[in-house]
Amino acid sequence: MTLTQSLLSMGGGVLLLLAGAEGLVRGASALALRIGITPLVVGLTVVAIGTSSPELVVSIQAALAGEGGVALGNVVGSNIANLGLIVGVAAVLTPMTVDRKLVRHDVPIMLVSMAALVVFLLDGTLERWEGGVLLAAAVLYTVDGIRTSRREVREANAKLPPEVTEALVEVEAGFKRHILLVVGGVALLVFGADRLLAGAVVAATQLGVSEAVIGLTLVALGTSLPELATTIVAARRGEAEIALGNAIGSNIFNVFSVLGPAALAAPIASVGIGADVLSIMVGFGLVTLLFLYTGGKTRRWEGAVLLLGYLGYIWWLVQ
């Protein structure tokens, strides 16, 4: 496979991942609504999982293939992109009011998940038992989110992700159609992840860079496209809770529910993912907490700082 072919394979894989995530979100949301799960719970669980499903499938496949640098780079790079690129772009587009619960509850949990990942990688490997701990944390976080949502569902002005709103309209559609969307979405995710991963490994070899760098850049950006699209649309609509919550929630899910199952599938060696990159990830988390904590809303200059920081990080990786 030539470099051009590998890049085309990666591009095709990204398109398949996007299509698969869209099908999974729509189908699973509609099915959940049909069986009586509240729309808000669907938004907090199914939609969050759907937008992060590309990272999950790519990381599991990379772990099973022994490509630890791609698996870890995908998650660490996606977490940095979610804060530097996605929150940065959203804040530059429009100032957003910050939900205090996000600052007091979800952002600290995001920082705890990052700290746990750093500690687990001190010996150079994310072991199966550590993956089990991360997955258990994901279950606890999800259960807590569902309990909270049951209280919030009584609020008439509860805001839902666009995917769930559309699913409400489609909820009366045929059951078989929703099943096909879910099955087709999963199939596209698996095949798209395979194409993206195959292209990434060849591109790393052809370009003379490590698989970790490819995972931190091209793969991370490709799998973060669902979050980027959702966050930008939500920010433009003035739906700050969705825009910020999607990015922060995705980071939590990436560590707990992506690396957890991936490490359970096969131990992940932190090849090429050193303390410097992990420190950058934590640094972006701390800066984001500072910006969200002060002022009660995001400001355009804060978004510009995050965005410039992300561009500087990309330059540092590839130079």
Q: What is the pLDDT of residue 106?
A: 85
Closest CA to 29 of 45, 52, 16, 17: 45
Q: What is the mean pLDDT of residues 147-162?
A: 56
Mean pLDDT of all residues in 240-267: 83
Give the domain ranges of the chain: 3-318
- Between 51 and 159, the higher pLDDT residue: 51
- 8 versus 169: which is more confidently predicted? 8
Judge whether residue 284 has pLDDT over 90. yes
- Token pair, residue 280, equals 């950058």
Torsion angle defined by CA atoms of residues 162, 165, 167 and 168, in that order, rounded to the nearest 10 degrees: 180
- Show the tokens assigned to 219: 């793969």
Q: Sorting pLDDT into bands at 50, 70 and 90, what band is 306?
A: very high
pLDDT greater than 60 at residue 60 = yes
Q: What percent of the chain has pLDDT over 70?
A: 72
Closest CA to 247 of 15, 23, 48, 43: 48
Helix (H) or strand (E) holding 269: strand 268-269
Q: Which residue has the higher pLDDT, 171 or 10?
A: 10
Q: Average pLDDT over the chain, rounded to whole? A: 78
Residue 154 clears pLDDT 60, i.e. is over it: no
What confidence tier does 118 reach under pLDDT thresholds 50, 70, 90? very high
Q: How far apart are CA 275 and CA 257, in angstroms?
A: 22
Q: Pick from 176-185, 208-217, 247-256, 280-289 the range whose average pLDDT is largest.
A: 280-289
Q: What is the pLDDT at residue 164?
A: 54
pLDDT of residue 108: 93
pLDDT tens string 1-53: 677 777 787 788 778 767 776 776 677 666 666 655 554 455 555 666 666 67
> Which tokens sit at 104?
């007091």
298-312: average pLDDT: 92
Label residue 187 exposed, middle or buried (CB < 10 Å: 0-12, 13-18, 19+).
middle
Q: 282 pLDDT exceeds 80?
A: yes
Give pLDDT, residue 40: 47
What pLDDT shows up at residue 48? Answer: 62
pLDDT value at 157 more than 50: no
Query: SS3 of 10, please?
Result: helix
pLDDT value for 156: 43
pLDDT at 256: 92
**pLDDT the model gives residue 234:** 64
Asked if the 3-318 domain carries CATH number 1.20.1420.30, the reply is yes
Buried (b) or exposed (e) across 276-301, using 16+ Cβ within 10 A? ebbebbbbbbebbbebbeeeeebeee
**Residues forming beta bridges with residue 125, ordered by sequence position:** 269
Confidence class for position 90, pLDDT limits 50, 70, 90: confident
The answer on pLDDT for 200 being more than 50 is yes
pLDDT in tens, 211-242: 777 778 777 777 677 667 666 666 666 665 66
